Amino acid sequence: MEAGRAWQGLGKKGTRKQFCSRLVAQAYAANGFDLVKNTDFCTPNELLKSVKLVEVVDATVDVTDEEYQTWQTHPSGLDLMRQSTNHILNGARKIDKSIQHLSDVDKLVLEHPEHDETIMQLYVESGYLHVWETGHEINPWHYDPKLMEDLGSRQPNDVRWYCKSTLSEGSRTDNRYVTNANTYQYYQSMRPRQTIVMLTAFYHMLAENHVNRLDVAEDWLTRHP
């Protein structure tokens, strides 16, 4: 409904609900870049015409038919994350129709312990806790020095780009996984919940995986300056 109002030019002040162009505009605005006049109500066309955006040249690469077919067999982490998140949100909305984001689900669990077991089961059933495994399946060399060395001997430029970009994602102690783990640990100290314990352990595990990726990438760059 609010996306439709954006196309009609009728929107003024938005709610917490999201649609694609609003999310993009608000994300840029949160980092100091106002791409459009009204970040609550904007269309993809308005974003396209924003003078603050420039076209990225050579943003695609050609692949062979064989490479294309191989990628078609890989699971999509983005699709799996969207599906699992929707499963959690849809289940939680049967309890509280106002829920929009996973942060609302956290609030529900913290304020209503009688729903703790139900929410924990939604996370388990959704597959949310296993989406990260897709990255290991598609790119095991991110986590294995020997596999990275083998690939680097054939594609040194690609591996070097990956390693440098990985090291720019956040330090071993300051990254989104550590931030999330600390947040849930704080929640747990205030209002113990099974769901919160599970998510705390989950993000600690992801933080350890991130450290492993950094170690492997840093090691390769050290040996291949």
What's this model's pTM, rounded to 2 decimal places?
A: 0.77
The residue with greater pLDDT, 3 or 192, is 192
CA dihedral 80, 155, 63, 74 (to 10 degrees): -20
Across the chain, mean pLDDT equals 89
Per-residue model confidence (pLDDT) at position 16: 67
Percent of the chain whose predicted confidence (pLDDT) is above 90: 60
**Torsion sign across C-alpha atoms 53, 55, 59, 65:** positive
At 2, the pLDDT band (50, 70, 90 cuts) reads low
**Mean pLDDT, residues 130-145:** 93
Mean pLDDT of 69-91: 87
For a pLDDT cut of 70, what percent of the chain falls above it?
Answer: 92
- Please write the tens of the pLDDT for every residue from 33-52: 888 888 887 888 888 888 88
pLDDT the model gives residue 46 = 87
Is-contact 22 13, C-beta < 8 A? Answer: no
Helices (H) and strands (E) in the chain, counts: 12, 0
Residue 16 in contact with residue 6, Cβ under 8 Å? Answer: no
The per-residue pLDDT for range 169-210, each reduced to its tens digit, is: 878 998 999 999 999 999 999 999 999 999 999 999 999 999
- At residue 55, does pLDDT exceed 90? no
